[in-house]
Amino acid sequence: DRTAQQLMADALMVNGASLGWAVDWGLTDWLVPAGAWSLRGSYIDAVNDIAAAAGGYVQPHPTDATLRILPRYPVAPWNWGSVAPDFEIPDHAVEVEGTEYIDKPGYNKVFVGGVGAGVFGPFKRAGTAGDILAPQVTHALITHADAHRQRGLAELSDTGTQASVKL
């Protein structure tokens, strides 16, 4: 058994020697049973696959040999009104060049689960009827409730009408 973070560290090694990349883990870690996951491909394919399993993505540090593993949605969009932004761009420093609206289905429930081992079940947006079902999501690394919750949140956050604003 390994945690997802340990799997990623292992993927960045060759014969027990590090490739020189550090991992800045920004997801909630979870346990993966032995034999639940395997992948053929490059080192970065493995890193991307592990991050994506829980709805995350990989962002390389601009100057250091560090890979930041971040959630696509640190806070659900329906809760954005109650959080303070990490930073604000002053009005006088930007100009809106265009806004494009993207209409996606307003899903409020998705079934998320592992493949050979792990958890499987519904993830529903709290406060909704859970009556608009998104396509099912499976991944071999969804082996724990923490991975299930993070992936479910990512899936339901990328729904509804969205504005793409170019500054």
Residues in a beta bridge with 165: 99
How, if at all, do strands 120-124 and 161-166 pair?
unpaired
pLDDT per residue of the chain (167 residues) written in tens, 0 to 9: 999 999 999 999 998 899 999 999 999 999 999 999 999 999 999 999 999 999 999 999 999 999 999 999 999 999 999 999 888 889 889 888 899 999 999 999 999 999 988 899 999 999 999 999 999 999 999 999 999 999 999 999 999 999 998 98
Q: How far apart are CA 56 and CA 151, in angstroms?
A: 8
Q: What are phi and psi of 91, to 5 degrees?
A: -55, -40
Return the sign of the alpha-carbon dihedral for residues 115, 119, 120, 123: negative
Q: Cα-atom radius of gyration of the chain, to the nearest Å?
A: 18
